[in-house]
Structure 1
């Protein structure tokens, strides 16, 4: 095996991505080295590049999502073998970033792929699913979740039968997975916002009603939801998390309900992890299963993930393939950061880098 690999590097804060080389890392105890076949782009990659978010040291390797084959086993790994096809989420260190040809992953949070799932499809899953799942089912805390019982936990499948829920931004990667998880939990109606062109995509994920945010702006959203269901709405997942979307979501939320946000909570809503007016609560999710506070949750999710994907109960995002290997991820990250991508996940093949 070669000692060096191609990688997309960040050399300093605010510097553009630069194609270069770095050493192939060696797995420690409980880790595996994965040869990355497909890597996906997320908005956080743009913030890592532009503002140095989560960077521990330069040069740095961004990228949170990948799928590939297990190449080397670390000490004590029992659940995986060399050659296994897996998907995994990174944590913010250069050896684990996915914008390179090889990266490290924790074996307990690397899920085997069913035969029906391609590397490209699998690479769309990790961060979006983690953010959705931790927001809905993660424990309460300053960067926690709504603490509902997950559908892979005993008694969790269908537990919230026929309770309505709202997902703001249902065509986003996080929104797609939030809808699918809510369906597994039994929620009905599942109402979502999206543009008219993405209605079918959002309904395929499990939404029962779709509100066009172009014709129904956020101040009008509470009335639109009330026109769909007269029942109190105990959960709103706001995958957009703008000031206006949060205000609307808070107004819709039932007493003692949970609002999940992916960005900084607005001053107009409650303080994360604490009860606000009418017992309402805001969950400001940190969607990484490898964060120390989330590893136990992540182990449970990843233990169930292969089966959920194999059964079709969880489906990947739609893929837009980028040509040119790692080099294509620089432009792809810019497109995602500037919100130029809709209802698709940008994916590149690191092994095809020239």
Structure 2
């Protein structure tokens, strides 16, 4: 049986170690992908540090996959061996991305268009799915009409939206989806150094995140006379949730990426919902299938643009140091990417 290298988290809150495991075989509806690039996400270091989300060890982490199709499972159409693809992985040994070969679910796999590299493609899956679920899911989001469905593009023309953490990976995709949905103004809270880039994605206003709470609220409400009914907090610290919730109009919705700390009974019918971006969650299946169905075209046409990245040295061995940099907030507004084929 063919062997490969994989990065294992040995135990709950334990250490990472690279060792060998068998290359898996694709079942019905699956593809075997040789992973050329995988991106790191905050959830990866939180699993190690806090012991959350994963309860079976040793475990392989990683959700963002970009690589080449090596084998095609039964019943899969539209994919061929040798094709460049990106996919949203799943936190099981056979479907996570911190290894040299992984299985992907064909419905959450898309061809990489010729204008993108493996590195760029690897920055897309989890960030985009988390943004999309938060905006468009009726269960784990704000329940808006998705822009890939009939009548969805431009539907929210003239409505303002607040994106807290605009320069985060998720925030960048929220801004782009909000633009496709027609929102305006799109108000991003981020560091000033990211202003030009965020405006290129569709933000109309970028407010410096380093302000006092009252100044922030004044700056946000000063951008629009229309009520702000939707806020997406990609940071979701207690203080950011509080600011976003307090500027919401009556009956508005705050979407968070971490557990909510604000109380809905603080009045005015405002709601808060914690999103969860995995397309493998039953509540997200249909919604994310719609997004993945248009993803190759949208990436090709630049409707959705991947974010900035930095490639880590040392392949799988370099991932633990990358996770440390993210945890210590040293990643500097770029997505960290590892190359599992690099020995």
Query: Taking structure 1 as the reference length, what is the TM-score of the superposition?
Result: 0.94
CA contact (8 A) 1:241 1:263 kept: yes
The size of the alignment, in residue pairs, is 343
**What SS class does the counterpart of residue 207 from structure 2 fall into?**
strand
Q: Which runs of 4+ in 1 moved over 4 A?
A: none
Deviation at 1:155, TM superposition (A): 0.3
CA contact (8 A) 1:138 1:147 kept: yes
CA contact (8 A) 2:164 2:231 kept: yes
Q: Which runs of 5+ in 2 are unaligned?
A: none
Residue correspondence of structure 1 range 180-259 to structure 2 within 5 A = 180-214=176-210, 216-259=211-254
Q: 1:253 to 1:35 in 2, by over 3 A?
A: same
Instruction: Output the CA distance in 2 between the equivalents of 1:169 and 1:213.
Output: 8
| 1:307 lines up with 2:301 in the alignment | no
Deviation at 1:67, TM superposition (A): 0.4
Instruction: Output the CA distance in 2 between the equivalents of 1:35 and 1:56.
Output: 26
Query: Taking structure 2 as the reference length, what is the TM-score of the superposition?
Result: 0.97
CA contact (8 A) 1:219 1:244 kept: no
CA contact (8 A) 2:12 2:55 kept: no
Instruction: Output the CA distance in 2 between the equivalents of 1:12 and 1:56.
Output: 9
Moved more, 244-253 or 168-177: 244-253
CA contact (8 A) 2:98 2:340 kept: yes
Partner of 2:157: 161
Partner of 1:269: 263
Q: What is the aligned-residue RMSD (CA, Å)?
A: 1.3
Deviation at 1:90, TM superposition (A): 1.2
CA contact (8 A) 1:112 1:306 kept: yes
Instruction: Output the CA distance in 1 between the equivalents of 2:272 and 2:181.
Output: 20
**What SS class does the counterpart of residue 95 from structure 1 fall into?**
coil
| 1:173 lines up with 2:169 in the alignment | yes
Residue correspondence of structure 1 range 1-354 to structure 2 within 5 A = 3-140=2-139, 144-214=140-210, 216-266=211-261, 268-270=262-264, 277-352=267-342, 354=343
The Cα offsets for residues 104-163 of structure 1, whole Å up to 9 and x where unpaired, read as 1100110111100110000000010011000000113xxx11010011010000000011
The Cα offsets for residues 185-231 of structure 1, whole Å up to 9 and x where unpaired, read as 001111111112221222222111111111x2334322111211111
Instruction: Output the CA distance in 2 between the equivalents of 1:263 and 1:138.
Output: 16
